[in-house]
Amino acid sequence: MPDIDWNLAAWSGGRDWSGEGEAWSQPWGGSEAQWFGVLYPRLHRRLPAPAIMEIAPGFGRWTRFLLPQCTSFVGVDLSQTAIEACRDTFAAASHASFVCNDGLTLPPGGPLDLVFSFDSLVHAEFEVFEAYVPQILARLAPGGVAFLHHSNLAALDPAMDNPHHRARSVSAARLRHLVAISGGAVLVQEVIAWGEFPQHDCMTLFGRRDSFPASRPTLLDNPDSWREAWMIQQYQAPWNR
Ligand SMILES: C[S@@+](CC[C@H](N)C(=O)[O-])C[C@H]1O[C@@H](n2cnc3c(N)ncnc32)[C@H](O)[C@@H]1O
């Protein structure tokens, strides 16, 4: 199971970060295509956002798209290797700071307009969300939202293969319940495929209940998300650049 020690070992020290995670965007044709084809369409109504926190930026694959969208940015990651790389890469961004944490504790601060995490907390077990969700809600500004990409494996067959090291204790339904009992409101949950596995992951958008008193969760099942990736990739052919 990918617990905090597993994540620390996987993403620190001797980890080969050459390419800075860009290879993970290959199914979409690169991180720029994935940002503009997948993430920005889902977030554009929330952007620009004055104060952004990114949880688990790694080497900054999404940070470079988030920084121009805010006036204050904090990236928090378990891996000192990742934090040092971000400090170096984004040294010219005077509105950005990067903090190494213990995988459970967010830095003080706020109010935050957007908390963002993609392609990281899929490896985080439920205990991490039990720690982070109340802290996120406590830091969100009125009207602010969090967008977290996480595992949905707890909803699937416990015997299924897990080559992408997803957390088996997390599902869309478990996260939705956690957000609700923590004083939040889930706005949208989109269950997505990863590779050949339908319903493998989920993206959850939520805010404070007092910011969205009348909202009801929009629950989306998107088994075609990997086909969408392929479609987006077709627009990125090298001979079209
Ligand atoms: C697969 S990398 C992805 C990084 C980046 N989001 C990207 O898409 O390129 C996973 C990152 O999540 C971080 N991470 C894992 N669990 C974490 C936790 N509980 N809190 C903070 N960071 C965590 C790791 O240290 C690593 O930098």
Ligand 1 centroid from CA 188, angstroms: 23
Is residue 132, in this structure, part of any structural domain at all? yes
Ligand 1 centroid from CA 198, angstroms: 23
What is the residue-level pLDDT of the chain in tens, covering all 241 positions? 789 999 999 998 777 888 889 999 999 999 999 999 999 999 999 999 999 999 999 999 999 999 999 999 999 999 999 999 999 999 999 999 999 999 999 999 889 999 999 999 999 999 999 999 999 999 999 999 999 999 999 999 999 999 999 999 999 999 999 999 999 999 999 999 999 899 999 999 999 999 999 999 999 999 999 999 999 999 988 887 7
Is residue 15, in this structure, part of any structural domain at all? no
Ligand 1 centroid from CA 118, angstroms: 9
Ligand 1 centroid from CA 103, angstroms: 9
CA separation for the pair 239, 28 (Å, rounded): 16
In the numeric block, the tokens 């989109």 are attached to 190
Q: From its phi and psi, is residue 100 left (phi > 0), alpha (psi between -120 and 50) or beta?
A: beta
Cβ–ligand 1 distance for 56 under 6 Å, the answer: yes
Protein residue closest via CA to atom 6 of ligand 1: 57
Of all atoms in ligand 1, which is nearest to the CA of residue 56?
22
Give burial (CB, 10 Å; 0-12/13-18/19+) of 146: buried
Ligand 1 centroid from CA 215, angstroms: 30
- Max Cα-Cα span within the chain: 51
Is residue 80, in this structure, part of any structural domain at all? yes
Is residue 205, in this structure, part of any structural domain at all? yes
Spatial strand order of the sheet with 51-55 comes to 96-100, 72-77, 51-55, 112-117, 140-151, 197-208, 184-194, 218-222
Cβ–ligand 1 distance for 119 under 6 Å, the answer: yes
Is residue 20, in this structure, part of any structural domain at all? no
Q: What is the CATH number of the domain that holds 137?
A: 3.40.50.150
* pLDDT value, residue 1: 76
Number of domain units in the chain: 1
Distance of CA 98 to the CA centre of its chain: 16
- Beta-bridge partners for 209: none
Protein residue closest via CA to atom 26 of ligand 1: 58
Pick from 168, 80, 177, 187: which is nearest to 133 by CA? 177
Protein residue closest via CA to atom 14 of ligand 1: 56
Cβ–ligand 1 distance for 58 under 6 Å, the answer: yes
Question: Quick one: CA torsion of 25, 29, 32, 35, rounded to 10 degrees?
Answer: -60
Ligand 1 centroid from CA 232, angstroms: 25
In the numeric block, the tokens 């099942």 are attached to 221
Give burial (CB, 10 Å; 0-12/13-18/19+) of 207: buried
* Domain span at 73: 27-240
- By DSSP bridging, strand 197-208 and strand 184-194 are antiparallel
CA separation for the pair 148, 201 (Å, rounded): 11
Question: Quick one: CA torsion of 169, 7, 76, 26, rounded to 10 degrees?
Answer: -90
CA separation for the pair 152, 31 (Å, rounded): 23
Is residue 19, in this structure, part of any structural domain at all? no
Cβ–ligand 1 distance for 120 under 6 Å, the answer: yes
Q: From its phi and psi, is residue 103 left (phi > 0), alpha (psi between -120 and 50) or beta?
A: left
Is residue 7, in this structure, part of any structural domain at all? no
Element (H, E) at 112: strand 112-117
Is residue 73, in this structure, part of any structural domain at all? yes
